[in-house]
Structure 1
Amino acid sequence: MFLLSLVLFVALLTVVLYYQPGLIVSSVALIVGLFGLTYLSGAMWLILIPVAALLVLLNLTPVRRKLITEPAYQFLQKAMPPMSVTEREAMEAGTTWWEKDLFSGKPDWKKFVNIELPQLSEKEQSFLDNEVETFCGLIDEWQIFQDQDLSPEAWQFLKDKGFFGLIIPEAFGGKDFGPYAQSRIMSKIASRSVTAAVTAMVPNSLGPGELLMKYGTEEQKQHWLPGLADGTEIPCFGLTGPEAGSDAGSIPDTGVVCKGEHEGKDVLGIRLSFSKRWITLAPVATVVGLAFKLRDPDGLLGDSDKIDYGITCALLPATHPGVEIGRRHNPGSPFMNGPVKGTDVFIPVDWIIGGAAMAGKGWRMLIECLGAGRGVSLPALSTASGEMSYLTVGAYSRIRRQFNMEIGKFEGVQEATAEIAANGYTLEAFRQLVTRGLDFGAPAVMTAMAKYHATEMMRTSVGHAMDVVSGRAIQMGPRNFCVFAYRALPVAITVEGANILTRSLMIFGQGAMRCHPYLFDEVQTLQASDKEAALVEFDGLFMKHLGHVFGNIARLKLFSFTRAKLSSVPVNADDFSKVWYQRINHLSAALAVAADVALGVLGGDLKRRELLSARLGDVHSQLFIACSLLKYHSVHPRTQEEDAHAEYALTLALHKAQQALLDFYQNFPSRFIAWAIKAATFPLGAHYSAPSDNSVRELGNLIMDDNVVRQRLSEYVYVSRDPEDAVGRVETTYQMLLALGDVWQSFSRAQAKGELTGANIDERLDDAVAKGIIQQADIEPLKAYDARRFDCLLTDHFDQL
């Protein structure tokens, strides 16, 4: 009877922790339950007494604070390193969205159901169908590469049609397009030319336009925004320098508040010295945004006690005296990029973006405005590369034959093409959920996920494309449809925060603070000056935090043993998606427990344990990616092709999340704790396998077919129908092959088996007709296709380089 009573108590405790009805209700439920179990088995008093004592302690607030909260507060004050101003601003900047639910360990699927994927407005769709389509027809990446610049006609078209003012309100002459429209526009351009896409995306991401709209004074907006919108002003923004790349907070550039002369008048201003590098559009810019560290040693801004204001942003004309635009860099893709320098450059204090009131607030401004570059521009470029890899490699792997078989039929090739197909599908799904999130603010964690994982998927897909297309892909020339995306990879993974640091520092570093329901507020109390008030606030937060931890442990153990079969899912989940939502519930609880354990055991040292924090960030990111896949899958009609793409991509995402957890457990310094949480997460071993060989074969075959996913992805990019164009040559040849149906396959099979005689294709075609393998009417289409097929396989050659 005692064992039964003990089991019943554990069940009761699990239910209480799972639902967390509040401390008083939970205490009453446990005490009443224990009294009842003690009545059944007298031995249960051994459990009743210590549990009752603990519950009394927790419910007596003064005693609890003295014995539990205050020691914990003092311990954490010593364990947690002080938070710098820039760190605090980075943590406070931006917003949170669905990624916070996933980090909590208890996703609110009712909230997820209400998320609707973004749609283009009538104006946005018209711009894509007309201006963007026309612009794509104007540009040729091979010609751009040879000229090392866009054509004058392309530049003028970008200016005249408002491509530089997509985010600027209509009141100032801009388009006022949303994040999804911006992403769609940039990805369509990128599918044609990465150089043109980078040129168009920079003014619409981290640049003066966005900073002015959010923080500029009305006078600054009226002065600059109309010119930025119509292209008469070309902006650049100087942030990074020789010794400040991803660590933008360490910029050495300085500004000192002083009096000086401007336009013949004595004004309050700033004397700047700066040296910026790798600044996109700098060589052609007419207006330069600058980030620098501001000092006011004489208290001229009105606060005599404040000398160091910190990072500040200002805007000045590129022709302003002392500003020097240097010679161009060569980043591999021929977009405009170069240095900006200045020594003792005097500007009025009114040129601070937002005026003097925004002095020292530049870091927060930049962190919030980086959302566009991280969440829109670079993921758009990556999505275009992923979708074009799907279309071109899928077509080429069916056209190209070796050993008398399409190369796409070889399982070794299918291992690569299946991942290309899954990545193309994932990137589109990811882009749509991320841009929807941007409609609700600037979630810094979500956009960091988007930047890192989208560009890494681009790296994988483009790398596989080069592998499959092989020698055809490495020969530069107007026929090559792979190489320019390959050359752009270093740009994608480096700018807007290098990928290594984005993964190892930003995603979990910001995620832990911003997405945890209590941690950031707790840290704030640890650094408060009023210790007594802070302790009272900390007490409430700490108790909720403990409930959060133990609740997630209970959820995790329950989900681990039941495979989360009983966990909640969205009300509209179908038979395909239900199991994936349940798996996300399991891994979300595992992430929450692992994060709290890591923070509790390692404290401030976790900041330096980048390998561990990166793995937790990977778990968080893959869960978000999985949610984007489920949302994207749910809005399309169920087909075998759609399910195959979604299942492969979901399997891959959750396998990666699981592997990141296993690697975290394997390397966690406290081995007993690592063993305990691993056993709680995977008591029967790892749950989630990588995609099976059958899945690889299925997707490897589908990418060669004109399936519904291929058709949809082709709508998001520019696919030339010109047989002399790099992409158009492959696409038109592929369409000819599709039109032939099984005729080409029948002819090729007979030819490979030696069933046909003849010295050339004409004679073999005649023989095939005679033997009933093909019809007379098939001869001319087959001859035309064979000529195009051969031309499609050729690479460029030159008299001299």
Structure 2
Amino acid sequence: MMLLSIVLYLVLVAAVLMYRPPLLVGSLLVIAGTLLLTVFESGMWWLLLPTLAVLAILNVPEWRRRLLVAPVYELLRKAMPPMSDTEREALEAGTTWWEKDLFSGRPDWERFAAIRPPRLTEREQSFMDNEVEQLCSRLNEWDVQERQDLSPEVWESLRKFGFFGLIIPESFGGRDFSPYAQSRIMSKIASRSLTAAVTAMVPNSLGPGELLVKYGTEEQKQRWLPGLADGSELPCFGLTGPEAGSDAGAIPDLGVVCKGEFEGSEVIGLRLNFHKRWITLAPVATVVGLAFQLRDPDGLLGDPDKVDYGITCALLPADHPGVEAGRRHNPGAPFMNGPVMGRDVFIPVDWIIGGPAMAGKGWRMLIECLGAGRGVSLPSLATASAAMCYLTVGAYARIRRQFNLEVGKFEGVQEVTAEIAAGAYTLEAMRELVTRGLEEGTPAVLTAMAKYHATERMRVLVNHGMDVVGGRGIQLGPRNFLGPAYHSLPVAITVEGANILTRSLMIFGQGAIRCHPYLIDEMESLALEPDEGLDVFEPIFMGHLGHIASNAVRLLWYGLGGALLSPVPGNANDFSRRWYQRINHLSVALATCADVALGVLGGELKRRELLSARLGDAHSQMLIACSILKYHVTQPASSAADAHAAYALQQALYSAQQALLAYCDNFPRRWLGLLLRIISFPLGRALLPPADNLVRQLGDLIMEPNPVREALAAHVYLSKDPEDAVGRVETTYQLLLSVDEAWQTVLHARDKGELEAEDFDAALREAVDKGLIREQDLEPLREYDARRFDCLLTDHFEQLG
């Protein structure tokens, strides 16, 4: 009886903690329940007394503050590391979206169900069907490689059709397209030429156009935006340099406020010295955006007590006296990229973007504008590369035969082609969810996740594709359909912040503070004067305590019960229901592990990059899984879509689970890590990687016509020209599909010795004579055999160099 009473007491306390009623109500419920248990078991008094003591401390304000809140407050004030201005601005910039729900441990699935997928407007669809198609028809990546530049016709098309002004308002001559439309446009261009896509991408991501639209003065907008929209002005933005790459906040480039002569008059301005490297479009730019540290030693900006203003952004003509540009780097892909330098360059103070009032606010401006590059442009390149891998590698694996079998039928090959198939499906799903989030704000954590995981997935999938096609992908030339993507991988991985930095510092570093329901408010209260800060801190801290307790109890419950009773969206179906419940389990595990890390390690967590990266991985993979579920439900139902989604979901959530397990196994307090592991996964691993039967299914599907292939093909430029690098593979594949039954009949007959002719053409005639194939099959089979062999060939040249 005593044991049963203790169990009932624990269940009562757990239920109160899990459902989090108001503190007084919950306390009364616990007291009433414990008193009732003492009626049946008098020995329960020994639990009632300490329970009353704890609840008294929590409910009596004076006791709570003196014994609990004030000591914690003082401890945190001493332990909290100082925050730099750039860190503070980065944390304050931008918004949060669905990623915050996942971090809370209690996702609001009805809110998720209400998220509508992005769609092109009529105007955007018309642009895709006309201007984008025309541009893609004029692109040839091998021609670009040989020129080391886009052709004059392509440059003219980019200007004429308004590709440089996709983000600029229509009132200034721009297109003013949505993030989703921008992503779709860049993907289609990238499927034809990554060089052209990068060229079109830069003016529409981090650069003068976006900064002017959001922060520019009316005079600056009128001066620059019409030219940027029609391409008569080409922009670049100088941010990184030899001593400041991923740590862009540490740029040493300096602007000093002073007086100088401009257009014959003495004005207040800036004396700039800068050395920028790796600046895309710099060799052809007509207008240069610059980020630099601003100092005002003489108080000319109006505040005599302020000298160091911090990072500031300005805009100046590329031919302004003292500005040096025009030479090129060689990034391995032939897009325009080079240095921008200046020594003692004087500009009027009005050339600061936004005018003098925006002096020192450049870092926040840049952080808020990085979303286009991180969330739209770079992921769109990755999505295009993945889709083209699906289409070309899948077709090639069907065409190419070894050991009398299509290479795509070998299980070793299917292990990687299945990942290509699921990866392409995943990236298309991510594109829809991320661009939808960007339509509602500037979610910095979401876009960092998109940049890192999309470009890393691109790296994996393109390398898998090279493994399948072998020498056909290695030998460069006009026939190579995979080499250009392979050579562009380092660009996607390193720009907009190197992927190592994005994963190890940014995703969880920003996510923990921006997405946590209490942390940023607690940090702000700690920065206040003690008396005021304690008053602000107390209700936040008590809410945080309830959050931790509720998550811990729910985590154990979900771990024991498989989260089978956890909430799911009202529109969940038989396919999705179980996946939502698995996300519930992983979400509360992430929330609990993150709170333990923040509480135990505090500021030391900034240096524990291996731990924070794993928490960021778990957070990201859950977001990826959500994007897959959203995409799956909005696409036409099919068994192929189910197979792709199941593989992708299994892969994402298994990766999230493994990241959390690795976090627990490597937590510095080993006993606490073990306890977290037991609470999070009391029955052991809840998820497994995709099974072999799913690998084989996707390995077969990627070689077959199926709804997923059709959906991916609709978003890229799939040439039908048999002399084109991609068109040669696609048209040969389509011809194979039309003759496949007869083709397989002849091959099997030769394998079995039913056809005696050694010459293949003679074997075809023999097959007709023996009634194995029809007369009308003869010419299509001969044509396919010739096209098949031609499809396998690589380019060769008289002389290189």
Shorter-chain TM range is over 0.9
How much does 1:744 deviate? 1.0
Give the stretch that moved more between structures: 660-669 or 614-623.
660-669
Letter of the aligned partner of 2:284 in structure 1? V
**After the TM superposition, which of the residue ranges 16-25 and 498-507 deviates more from structure 2?**
16-25
Query: Hey, what does 2:351 align to over in structure 1?
Result: 351
Equivalent in the alignment of 2:716: 717
Given residue 391 of structure 1, which amino acid in structure 2 is its aligned partner? Answer: L
Q: What letter matches 1:27 in structure 2?
A: S
CA contact (8 A) 2:552 2:592 kept: yes
> Per-residue deviation at 1:248?
0.3
CA drift at 1:626: 0.1
- Correspondence for 1:215: 215
Q: How far 1:31 moved relative to its partner? A: 1.3
Match of residue 436 from structure 2 = 436
**Structure 2 equivalent of residue 664 of structure 1:** 663
CA contact (8 A) 1:757 1:763 kept: no
Are residue 160 (structure 1) and residue 198 (structure 2) matched? no
C-alpha distance in structure 2 between counterparts of 1:43 and 1:184, whole Å: 69
SS of the aligned residue for 1:277 comes to: strand
Partner of 1:615: 614
Alpha-carbon distance in structure 1 between the residues aligned to 2:374 and 2:324: 28
- Distance, in Å, in 1 between the alignment partners of 2:346 and 2:62 is 59
Matched, 1:605 2:604: yes
SS of residue paired to 1:439:
helix
Look up the SS of the partner of 1:721 in the other structure.
coil
The Cα of 1:16 is off from its aligned counterpart by 1.4
Q: Taking every aligned residue pair, what percent have the same amino acid on both sides?
A: 69
- Counterpart of 2:570 in structure 1 is 571
Q: Within 5 Å, give how 1:195-234 maps onto structure 2.
A: 195-234=195-234
Partner Cα separation in structure 2 for residue 508 and residue 754 of structure 1 = 63
Displacement of 1:754 after TM fit? 2.5
Kindly provide the CA deviation profile for residues 67-111 of structure 1, in whole angstroms up to 9, marking residues without a partner as x: 111111111122221111110000000000000000000000010
Shift of 1:787: 0.5
2:298 maps to 298
Alignment of 1:509-524 (within 5 A): 509-524=509-524
Matched, 1:191 2:185: no
| CA distance, structure 1, for counterparts of residue 421 and residue 475 of structure 2 | 24
What is the Cα deviation at residue 638 of structure 1?
2.2
Q: Give CA deviations for 1:602-640 in whole Å, capped at 9, x if unaligned.
A: 000000000000000000000000000000001123211
Q: 1:88-140 CA deviation, whole Å, 9 max, x = no partner? A: 00000000000000000000001001000100000000001110010001010
Aligned to 1:788: 787
For 2:530 and 2:210, the matched residues in 1 are separated by 40
Q: Which residue of 2 aligns with 1:4?
A: 4
Residue 72 (structure 2) aligns with: 72
- Give the residue type in structure 2 aligned to 1:372: A
In the aligned structure 1, how far is the partner of 2:394 from the partner of 2:240?
Answer: 39
Instruction: Note the C-alpha offset of 1:144.
Output: 0.1
Contact 2:238 2:291 in 1 (8 A): yes
Partner of residue 492, structure 2 = 492
Q: Which amino acid aligns with 1:591?
A: L
Range with greater deviation from structure 2 (41-50 or 102-111): 41-50
Higher mean Cα deviation, 762-771 or 502-511?
Answer: 762-771
Report if the CA contact (8 A) 1:272-1:342 is conserved: yes
Aligned-partner residue type, residue 275 of structure 2:
S
Displacement, 1:21?
A: 1.6
Residue 446 of structure 2 corresponds to which residue in structure 1?
A: 446
8 A Cα contact 1:422 1:646, kept in partner: yes
What's 2:37 paired with? 37
Task: Note the C-alpha offset of 1:770.
Answer: 2.3
Q: Hey, what's the Cα distance between the residues in 2 that align with 1:59 and 1:537?
A: 17
- Which structure 2 residues correspond to residues 540-689 of structure 1 after superposition, within 5 A? 540-689=539-688
Deviation at 1:748, TM superposition (A): 1.3
The CA deviation string for residues 259-283 of structure 1, in whole angstroms up to 9 with x for no partner, is 1111111111111000000000000
* Stretch of structure 1 that moved more, 6-15 or 269-278: 6-15
Letter in 2 for 1:694: N
Q: Corresponding residue for 2:530?
A: 531
Structure 2 counterpart of 1:745, one-letter code: Q
1:538 maps to a residue whose letter is F
Structure 2 counterpart SS, 1:649: helix
Contact 1:383 1:428 in 2 (8 A): yes
Shift of 1:772: 2.4
Letter in 2 for 1:701: D
SS of residue paired to 1:758: coil
Letter in 2 for 1:679: I
Which residue of 2 is the match for residue 321 of structure 1? Answer: 321
Q: Distance in 1 between matches of 2:65 and 2:712?
A: 58
Tell which deviates more after alignment, 380-389 or 38-47: 38-47
Match of 2:778 in 1: 779
Corresponding residue of 1:15: 15
Give the whole-Å Cα distance in 2 for the aligned partners of 1:155 and 1:38: 84
Gap runs ≥5 in structure 2: none
Task: For residue 34 of structure 1, report the CA deviation from its aligned partner.
Answer: 1.3
- TM-score when normalising by structure 1: 0.99
Distance, in Å, in 2 between the alignment partners of 1:8 and 1:705 is: 58
State whether residues 311 and 360 of structure 2, in contact with CA within 8 Å, keep that contact through their aligned partners in structure 1. yes
SS in 2 for 1:455: helix
Q: d(CA) in 2 for partners of 1:361 and 1:755? A: 79
The separation in 1 between residues aligned to 2:22 and 2:124, in whole angstroms, is 49
Q: What letter is aligned with 2:638?
A: T
SS at match of 2:258: strand
8 Å contact from structure 1 (residues 641, 707) kept in 2? yes
What whole-Å deviation, never above 9, does each CA across 1:170-215 have from its counterpart, x for those lacking one?
0000000000000000000000000000000000000000001111
> Aligned partner of 2:790: which letter?
D
- Higher alpha-carbon deviation: 325-334 or 139-148: 325-334
Which structure 2 residues correspond to residues 115-154 of structure 1 after superposition, within 5 A?
A: 115-154=115-154
Counterparts of residues 359-374 of structure 1 (less than 5 Å):
359-374=359-374
Q: Given residue 519 of structure 1, which amino acid in structure 2 is its aligned partner?
A: L
Structure 1 residue 62 displacement after superposition: 2.1
Q: In structure 2, what is the Cα distance between the partners aligned to 1:454 and 1:616?
A: 18
**1:296-325: CA deviation from partner (whole Å, max 9, x where unpaired):** 111111111111000000000001111110
Q: What is the CA–CA distance in structure 1 between the aligned matches of 2:313 and 2:504, rounded to whole Å?
A: 27
TM-score computed with the length of structure 2 as normaliser: 0.99
Q: Does 1:760 align with 2:750?
A: no
Q: Find the aligned partners of 2:7 and 2:786 in 1 and give their Cα distance.
A: 76
One-letter amino acid of the structure 2 residue matched with residue 182 of structure 1: Q
- One-letter amino acid matched to 2:708: V
C-alpha distance after superposition, 1:324-357 (max 9, x if no partner): 1041000011000000000111111110001111
CA distance in 2, matches of 1:691, 1:705: 20
Instruction: Letter of the 2:235 partner, please give it.
Output: P
Q: Which residue of 2 aligns with 1:279?
A: 279
Give the residue type in structure 2 aligned to 1:347. I
Partner of residue 61, structure 2: 61
Between stretches 533-542 and 283-292, larger displacement belongs to 533-542
Q: Are the counterparts in 1 of residues 284 and 326 from structure 2 also a CA contact under 8 Å?
A: no
Aligned length: 800
Q: Secondary structure at the match of 1:244?
A: coil
Please name the residue that 1:797 is paired with: 796
Measure, in 2, the Cα distance between the counterparts of 1:477 and 1:619: 41
Mapped contact 1:619–1:657 kept (Cα < 8 A): yes
Separation of aligned partners in 2, 1:674 and 1:710: 44
Which stretch has the larger CA shift, 92-101 or 61-70? 61-70
Tell me the equivalent position of 2:380.
380
Partner Cα separation in structure 1 for residue 241 and residue 759 of structure 2: 63
**Higher deviation after alignment, 601-610 or 73-82:** 73-82
Aligned 1:84-95 pairs, distance under 5 A: 84-95=84-95
Distance (Å, rounded) in 2 between the aligned partners of 1:283 and 1:47:
76
What do residues 678-697 of structure 1 show as CA deviations (whole Å, max 9, x unaligned)?
Answer: 00111111111011111110
Amino acid at match of 1:325: A
What is the one-letter code of the residue matched to 1:481?
A: F
* 60-69 or 687-696: bigger deviation: 60-69
The whole-number CA distance in structure 2 between the counterparts of 1:504 and 1:693 is 32
Q: Which amino acid aligns with 2:738?
A: A
1:625 and 1:382 map into 2 onto residues whose CA distance is 15
Task: Give the whole-Å Cα distance in 2 for the aligned partners of 1:395 and 1:46.
Answer: 73
1:240–1:251 CA contact under 8 A, matched in 2: yes
